[in-house]
Structure 1
């Protein structure tokens, strides 16, 4: 997947987890928690959804890398580079 495809995938996951949130103005460099009403369970749902959809394993010590869209895409890019978008 390209960085743009990964970003779209994360937006899709976020829209499933927080359907009432407006994701159109999301700032990539700003932390998700500063922009969205996400609690720790929502955050775990993101990790679980990545595992379910793409079999991506994210160790707990790496959760800090998923703080913003930019850091999430940067972290996931090498893990998802060989995944073909369906």
Structure 2
């Protein structure tokens, strides 16, 4: 999976969790929590969806540090190759 495919998969997961967002609204540097209003349960659901769809488990301590789509892509990319 290349970087663009990973980004697209993550956007789909974010939009599934926050259906009021459209894929075009999700940017690499916007805060998932502050700009998209993802609360702790949404974050848990996103981590679970990432594990389910990509097969990568993100430890809770790491996930708490990942605040943007860009950070998620950068974190996950080496774990998928």
Shorter-chain TM-score category?
Answer: 0.7 to 0.9
**Which has the greater radius of gyration?**
1
Given the superposition, is the C-alpha separation of residues 35 and 22 from structure 1 closer, same or farther in structure 2, using an over 3 Å criterion? farther
After TM superposition, which residue ranges in structure 1, 4 or more long, deviate above 2 angstroms? none
Residue 55 of structure 2 corresponds to residue 80 of structure 1: no
TM (normalized to structure 2)? 0.87
Q: Which runs of 5 or more structure 2 residues have no equivalent in the other structure?
A: none
Q: Which runs of 5 or more structure 1 residues have no equivalent in the other structure?
A: 82-86
Residue 30 of structure 2 corresponds to residue 30 of structure 1: yes
Asked whether the equivalents of residues 26 and 35 of structure 1 are also in contact (C-alpha less than 8 Å), the reply is: no
Q: Secondary structure at the match of 1:20?
A: coil
Aligned equivalents of 2:68 and 2:57: distance in 1? 18
Asked whether the equivalents of residues 13 and 49 of structure 1 are also in contact (C-alpha less than 8 Å), the reply is: yes
Kindly report the root-mean-square deviation, in angstroms, between the aligned alpha carbons of the 2 structures: 1.4
Aligned equivalents of 1:53 and 1:77: distance in 2? 14
